[in-house]
Amino acid sequence: MKKIAPFILFLLTIAPLSYSQVSSLEKNALIDLYKSTNGTNWNTTWDLNNDVQTWYGVTVENNTVTEINLSMNNLDGAIPSTIANLKYLKHLNLGFNRLSGIIPSEITSIKSLETIQLFMNQLEGELPSNIGELVNLKKLELFNNLITGNLPISIYNLKNLEVLQLSSNRFTGSISEEIKNMTNLKTLSLFDNSMYGAIPSQVGSLSNLEELSLANNLFEGEVPNEISNLLELETLLLNNNRFVGTINTSIKNLPKLVNIGFNNNPKEIEILAKPITQNNINPQ
């Protein structure tokens, strides 16, 4: 019994350590985010005196912060550069807030990131030029912001990316032929920007693509026949651009295609609807 007592005392001594031992570097990065985005006015705020793992929207695993989900929480302000100190972060969701300023380039040093969701904010500036260093990224959702500039060439290095959702921003420039590298893409959504140039034929090599949404831009030239190779494609939205010529009728035979939009281009295009779904052509 005398031997057991010290052991129990030892367990009681280390018990507080069983909560979380998030490093001061990571904790301070979270506090910076809190202060930079007016944390006292969040819908659900943090008690900075409590353990990090009790903070709303923060997931802690093995004493490291792996996820932040503060969507629809009234964040108002800029994303601090010190977010880069969350070295083990996998998922970042700050969507549906009032974030402003730029996406800090330092975020690209978080190599563990798998999802970045910053949609429905007021972010501006250009995408970090080295965003392609996020080699584990699977989902990049930045729609409905004020982001400008061309797509950085490094973005085409994101070979694990499945969702690229950049619609309703102010992007310019064209789609590079290097799009061929993004073979895991399921969603490529760039609609409602000011992008231009031709759709590269290499888009046809994205065999997993389910959605190709390029409407409301300045794209031009002919729609590449290679799109007919996209056997998983369900949505093809090309309306309100400057395309000319005809769409290869083999596109209508894509087995999963249910939503096509092509009108309001300079030249009338005839697209035969599939017999079993007469409303395939999107009128928008």
Question: Going from the N-terminus, what domains does the chain have, and what CATH number goes with each?
Answer: 22-282 (3.80.10.10)
Q: At residue 273, what are phi and psi to the nearest 5 degrees?
A: -75, 150
pLDDT at 131: 98
Residue 251 parent element (H or E): none
Which pLDDT score is estimated for 267? Answer: 53
Which segments of the chain have a pLDDT < 70?
1-20, 266-284
Report the alpha-carbon angle 28-33-36, nearest 5. Answer: 120
Residues in the chain: 284
Mapped onto helix, strand or coil, the DSSP state of residue 217 is: coil
Spatial distance between the Cα atoms of 282 and 259, rounded to a whole number of angstroms? 6
pLDDT, tens digit (0-9, with 9 covering 90-100), for 3-41: 555 554 444 444 444 456 999 999 999 999 999 999 999
Q: What is the pLDDT at residue 179?
A: 98
- Cα separations (Å) of 146 from 70, 123, 171? 20, 6, 9
31 in helix, strand or coil? Answer: helix
E-only strand ranges, the chain:
58-61, 64-69, 76-78, 91-93, 98-101, 115-117, 122-126, 139-141, 146-149, 163-165, 170-171, 187-189, 196-197, 211-213, 218-221, 235-237, 242-243, 259-261, 281-282
> What's the CA gap between 152 and 263, in Å, rounded?
30
Closest among 29, 14, 210 to 104, alpha carbons compared: 29
